[in-house]
Structure 1
Amino acid sequence: MYLFKKLGLKKEEVISIVGGGGKTTTLFILADELRNLNKRVLVTTTTAIFSPKEEEYDYYFLGKLEYFTPKEGSITIFGNRIEEGKLKGPSSIEIEEIVEKNIFDFILIEADGSKGKPIKAPNDYEPVIPKCTTKTIGVIGLDSFEKRIDHIVHRPEKFIEITNSNYSDTIDADIIIKLIFHPEGLFKEARGEKILLLNKASNQYYSFKGNEIRNKLLEKGFKGSVLVSDIKTKKFY
């Protein structure tokens, strides 16, 4: 199954991705699918991401995107500079200016960082989601289940405050649901349609837990879509 179909994408979208649990992988899998559909795709960040591999893009720009028209079926990487091996992104205003140029069909933005952790709470200054965003994807890694908060969470001090938990508590469905619903949680500053991606459902246990969360969210009136998936293998449950 293709991710772009599950996301219900329209002809043109600005998609911001937040959370943990495989944001960058999700970003580039989606970009590659759209490139194969002959779309012009921009991949960028409002924070920082590891510089991508050469096979993951067709164009790579630092600084300004002036006098440039991408070919159909291409991925363009855009950032301001490279710092400590990471691509530092443009401001939200710069991204909005790029949208106005109308040279890309899809703009995909990694809008916060997680230090490789599967689950996180946002800091005071994040995420950075441009106003032009049409969909916000919040990612949580199901491999965080039954792991201690102080071992598995990025920004645990914010996390325990948001979820009313303790450092020694282990991640369960109720804690994840608190993170999703809290205004300072996973979907803080979200714009457009909310899509929750419960990722890394790599075995029966994780897929079961993902569906448990989905059912509880629907019961509680979550206003958005919920996908249970193992993005690397493109399996959805």
Structure 2
Amino acid sequence: MGLTLAKALRLKNNSTPRVAFVGAGGKTTALFQLAREISPCIITTTTHLGAWQANDADQHIIAHNSEDFKKLEENSPSGIILVTGPEENDRLQSLPTENLNWLENYCKTHSLPLLIEADGARQKALKAPSAHEPVIPDFVDQVVVVAGLSGLGKVLSDEWVYGAERFVEISASSEQEIISAEMLSAVMTDGDGGLKNIPPKARRIALLNQADTPELQAISSRMAQNLLTHFDAVLTGTLQPVELVNYEPVAAIILAAGESSRYGEPKQLLDYHGRPFIRVVAETALRAELSPVIVVAGSNH
């Protein structure tokens, strides 16, 4: 079995994460895929969901008021439970803040994961957030920022990008320009773009979805190296079927605190092809793109 989304997000068995999904290009697909992998769990939204998306849940509770939450208490939680506000114009509305807090406490009491769709994208491949979004609760401990790579190479317009005008502003590009990996990276790593409204203590995950050709896989791999300076992990690949590669920072710890008494001088500073040995080791770690590189030296050095 390959790398599941749950494993890529480092979710352990019986863990009770609070995960918010934002972005475009497979966000709802990712949300329900994770829900299937870690069920029983509860899904909700802080903005809205398409009414048709409720078909992917095993149970859908529409909470008009607090009395409707009693349905959760009637049976032991099982499968994927979707909890939303009423439907309006083919859209399932979000819960009022007090109901969302009640739901989070319910999940905590029953040791249930809570997954949240925290913005909208109208089925576009890419997006830049509007002024009022994303709506990410403070209790969220992981945020997955999704981007659909099918948007690369396309014209920067409303056809491919939700919030195209904001995308232009953040990426310092122009309308009708061809969308590049560099433009997408600029939006994903901007405080008004992909990183917007993420709680300070939440783990940041970038998900580069729709990398379903060798060319897009190569592009996503190069993008991952840049994104890792802003995200705790970068996932690349596809969600249908699930084929993911996980990129995470790898640190180097160079232990150089010995007294070197046998040599009469610090062996860490001995000449190695014209350079101090410790410098050669550190430069090798840096060339391997390890980060951070930590050198532990003794107080007598």
Other-structure match for 1:97: 102
Normalising by structure 1, we get a TM-score of 0.91
**SS at structure 2 position matched to 1:131:** coil
Post-superposition CA distance 1:87-106 (Å, at most 9, x none): 11213442222112223511
Residue of structure 1 aligned with 2:122, choices 106, 111, 115: 115
Other-structure match for 2:136: 129
Other-structure match for 2:298: none
**SS at structure 2 position matched to 1:160:** helix
Distance 2:203 2:98 in 1: 21
Determine if the alignment matches structure 1 residue 56 to structure 2 residue 50: no
Instruction: Tell me the amino acid that sits aligned with residue 128 of structure 1.
Output: V
Distance 2:221 2:22 in 1: 21
Post-superposition CA distance 1:34-79 (Å, at most 9, x none): 12xxxx3111111111235676323211114236235354211111
Residue of structure 2 aligned with 1:174, choices 159, 182, 199: 182
**SS at structure 2 position matched to 1:65:** helix
Residue of structure 2 aligned with 1:231, choices 239, 256, 261: 239
Total equivalences in the alignment:
231
Deviation >4 Å, runs of 4+: 52-55
Q: Which structure 2 residue ranges, 5 or more long, are not aligned?
A: 246-301
**SS at structure 1 position matched to 2:133:** coil
Distance 1:74 1:106 in 2: 11
Please, which moves more after superposition, 49-58 or 120-129? Answer: 49-58
Determine if the alignment matches structure 1 residue 193 to structure 2 residue 232: no
* Contact 2:23-2:119 at 8 Å conserved across structures: yes
Query: Between the two proteins, what is the percent identity of the paired residues?
Result: 27
Report which structure shows greater RCO (CA 8 Å, sep ≥6).
1
Other-structure match for 1:162: 170
Distance 1:14 1:5 in 2: 15
Q: Which structure 1 residue ranges, 5 or more long, are not aligned?
A: none
* Contact 1:93-1:130 at 8 Å conserved across structures: no
Residue of structure 2 aligned with 1:138, choices 138, 145, 150: 145
Normalising by structure 2, we get a TM-score of 0.72
**SS at structure 2 position matched to 1:71:** coil
